[in-house]
């Protein structure tokens, strides 16, 4: 029961984080193996653009810049995105203040992460623009900083919230604005792809990697944040093995109870022997009893764990502390059938070993040392 609940809660948090990353990140992202920027002008990228299943193709620019708003300064990643950015992501659903708008009537606008907005003290009701400073390409440091820096300004239109890892780093701006600011010319930081929902992303990813070769990385949503997902996965399985260890310790209760039962039923074993039962049959009786304890314990515990998880999903009984401080109000839970099977398998395996040991090594003392 404990294993089902704990693993389902970890699954819930993983699914929640995956949902938010999915709303911000593209289905596939192509980046250069060496260097920060590349020119996507050869025939390979035209082939990728025309692949079956590739619905959206977008070139983006990402560079670190110094932001200044009023008297506050903060370094962040300025990401230049094309007009179809909201088509292959769900950025619209992440807006917590203002609207998602990058251009309007010839004016450029920015959509800022909530963490960036907080550190800058930014408010959409204010009329001050965000000033952006970046080093000029190929220009050495000078006593006059104005000659070494590119400068531009942009007005905020909205604030988005995903997770702290994203919110505290990113500011979205129009692609052409970022290209001029960073003097990128025809170079881009990445190519982002939106994949048709009816096509397997894994197959498209493999095909694109074959087209581009080793000079480019092609990453799916998980691989774009592999450290986060690997950390959560390792935490989940670490908790699983800790609970397995506790289960092994608890199985000694069944081992001792079966041992005492064998000693207590010593006279009954002699009666069974006199009625014609051999040692193998008598051992099977005790072993079957141990299996029954394990089986009904595993099934009952799993059903109770599933029931508790269902109650949490349906009624949100266990809430998170601090009302309104989190994006969710209660612990997220997701039941995965393969986890249930894994839990049943390990519980039944431990139960079998705990039953077999006393039956194999203790009962022979009361069976006249007859061999199997």
- The per-residue pLDDT for range 292-350, each reduced to its tens digit, is 988 999 999 999 999 999 999 999 999 887 655 567 889 999 999 999 999 999 999 99
Residue with more model confidence, 364 or 230 = 230
Which pLDDT value is given to residue 163? 86
CB count in 10 Å sphere of residue 116: 26
Average pLDDT, the chain: 90
Helix (H) or strand (E) holding 79: strand 72-81
Per-residue b/e over 62-81, b at no fewer than 16 CB within 10 Å? Answer: bbebbbbbeeeebebbbbbb
- The per-residue pLDDT for range 238-291, each reduced to its tens digit, is 999 999 999 999 888 888 888 888 888 888 888 888 898 888 888 888 889 888
Within 13 Å and on the Cβ side, how many CA atoms surround 363? 28
Which pLDDT value is given to residue 371? 45
């Amino acid at each position: 029961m404990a294993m089902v609940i704990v693993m389902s809660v970890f699954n819930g948090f993983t699914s929640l984080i995956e949902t938010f990353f999915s709303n911000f990140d593209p289905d596939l992202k192509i980046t250069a193996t060496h260097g920060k920027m590349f020119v996507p002008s050869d025939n390979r990228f035209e082939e990728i653009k025309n692949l079956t299943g590739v619905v959206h193709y977008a070139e983006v620019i990402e560079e670190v810049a110094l932001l200044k708003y009023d008297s506050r300064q903060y370094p962040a990643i300025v990401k230049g995105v094309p007009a179809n950015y909201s088509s292959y992501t769900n950025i619209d659903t992440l807006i917590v203040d203002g609207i998602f708008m990058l251009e309007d009537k010839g004016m450029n606008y920015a959509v800022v992460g909530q963490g960036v907005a907080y550190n800058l003290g930014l408010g959409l009701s204010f009329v001050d623009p965000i000033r952006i400073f970046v080093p000029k390409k190929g220009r050495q440091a000078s006593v006059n900083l104005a000659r070494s820096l590119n400068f531009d300004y942009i007005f905020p239109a909205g604030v988005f919230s995903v997770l702290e890892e994203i919110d505290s780093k990113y500011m979205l701006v129009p692609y052409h604005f970022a290209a001029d600011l960073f003097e990128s010319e025809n170079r881009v930081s990445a190519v982002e792809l939106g994949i048709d929902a009816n096509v397997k992303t894994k197959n498209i990813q493999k095909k694109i990697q074959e087209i581009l070769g080793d000079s480019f990385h092609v990453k799916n949503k998980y691989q774009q944040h592999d450290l986060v997902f690997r950390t959560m996965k390792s935490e989940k399985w670490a908790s699983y093995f800790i609970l397995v260890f506790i289960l092994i310790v608890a199985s000694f209760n069944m081992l001792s109870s079966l041992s005492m039962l064998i000693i207590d039923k010593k006279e009954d074993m002699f009666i069974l022997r006199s009625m014609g039962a051999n040692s193998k049959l008598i051992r099977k009786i005790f072993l079957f009893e141990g299996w029954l304890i394990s089986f009904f314990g595993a099934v009952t515990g799993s059903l109770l764990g599933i029931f508790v998880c269902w109650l949490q999903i349906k009624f949100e009984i266990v809430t998170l502390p601090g009302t309104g401080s989190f994006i969710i109000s209660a612990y997220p839970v997701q039941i995965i059938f393969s986890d249930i099977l894994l839990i049943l398998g390990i519980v039944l395996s431990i139960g079998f070993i705990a039953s077999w040991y006393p039956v194999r090594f203790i009962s022979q003392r009361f069976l006249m040392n007859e061999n199997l």
